[in-house]
Amino acid sequence: MERRAFRLRITGQVQGVGYRWWAERQARSLALDGWVRNCPDGSVELLAIGDEVALERMAEACRGGPPAASVSDVQALAADDDGSVGFAARS
């Protein structure tokens, strides 16, 4: 399986609503590697690494987010595989 990577920047009401915890669960259920973290500007940044189908599913899920979130935009950019093993929330 070829590993691909992308970086998502999720904006809206996405901090303080369990978004990182939710994203970690979603990514693990899709067998993705990478990480998710809150950014100082109020957005959430996510690096996902895995097969193309799982990456597409993750991006689609992030457009909705957890029930308490209000996502206004999700920007996807190609990224390099940073060698992450597993998926974790970062501070």
The residues carrying an active-site annotation are 20, 38
Is the distance from CB of 22 to CB of 66 less than 8 angstroms? Answer: yes
Half-sphere exposure of 91 (CA within 13 A, CB side): 0
Terminal Cα-to-Cα distance of the chain (whole angstroms):
30
Q: Residue 73 phi/psi, 5° resolution?
A: -160, 150
